[in-house]
Amino acid sequence: MRNLAWINGSVCNLSEASISLEDRGYLLGDGVYEIIRVYNKTPFYLSAHLERIKRSAREIRLPLPYSPVEIEAVITDLLKQSGCIEGYIYIQLTRGPAPRDHLFPVEPKPSMVFYVREMASPGGADAVKPGKCITLPDERWLNCYIKSTNLLPNVLARQKAAEAGAVEAILYRAGGIVTEATRSNVFAVIGDKVRTHPESKLILSGITRRIALDILEELDVPSAEEAFTIEDLSSASEVFLTSTTMEIKPVCAVDEKPVGNNKTGPVGRSVIKAFWDKIAEHCPKE
């Protein structure tokens, strides 16, 4: 496939795409973004992602310059031109180019870019492998529900995790309350219930998080959007992460302490299987 970009109306190779040095997304992180997975040529839960970027944009007082119908048309065309089978679509909306100043430009020219890039898919539930996590204080701002391009605390925490041989850093705030991880939401089986932090300004409301909650309900597994602490996490029989790029990722150890028996537990296994059934349903092979 060809990795292609769409910048304010024109399509080019991703490696040749460029934007203004004075784009406020580049200078100030003044923008929002989305990542949508493509399986079998089909975007997975596209409308939920478009709803979320609309909400993120509204929260930073930056209206979407295109309608959902226009955006869908751009995505359909990019996927077709690129020949993408397994990959992802990245969308970024910024307040556009302007002489550097924190103040909004008087006449903003928002910049909306899309690109599609190849990304191999594990291909099914059986290929999913658990990973280790570390825990770190959540040092982000208090509006994590906005999917903003300001990701420095996430970048630093994720780097620390990688240097410790972990796939993710699970983040906690005052009182040890687990919010989420640097690029995923966190679920834990504590006692007989699966818990995840409730929707609030302190977490990004993940599209995969919502899919996992729906799956738990469909499977009749007791679950609650109920916060838990680092201490609760250390007694969890299972922990898993959810995100567009990591899908449903079982956690086998937190801070080097094994979770359950170091393998994917029964709840994790059923959620992973049901998740892949949803992919097959929404993005069927031709």
Question: Which CB, 23 or 138, lies closer to ligand PLP?
Answer: 138
On the 0-12 / 13-18 / 19+ scale of CB atoms within 10 A, 66 is middle
Question: Which CB, 161 or 204, lies closer to ligand PLP?
Answer: 204
Tell me the residue nearest to ligand PLP as measured from the CB.
Answer: 206
Q: How far is the CB of 106 from ligand PLP (least distance, A)?
A: 32
Interacting residues of 244 by C-beta distance below 8 A, sequence separation 6+: 35, 36, 37, 44, 49, 88, 206, 207, 208
Q: How far is the CB of 20 from ligand PLP (least distance, A)?
A: 26
Binding residues for ligand PLP (CB under 6 A): 180, 183-185, 204, 206-209, 242-244
Say whether 207 sits in a helix, a strand or coil.
helix
Question: Which CB, 135 or 184, lies closer to ligand PLP?
Answer: 184
CA pair distance 218, 223, nearest whole angstrom: 11
Q: Which two tokens stand for residue 22?
A: 């004075």
Q: How far is the CB of 109 from ligand PLP (least distance, A)?
A: 27
Q: How far is the CB of 29 from ligand PLP (least distance, A)?
A: 14
Name the residue with tokens 């620390």: 160
**272 to 42, 54, 140, 196, 218: CA distances (angstroms):** 20, 29, 29, 16, 13
Active-site positions read 147
Q: How far is the CB of 184 from ligand PLP (least distance, A)?
A: 5
| φ, ψ for residue 193, nearest 5 deg | -130, 145
| φ, ψ for residue 244, nearest 5 deg | -55, -45
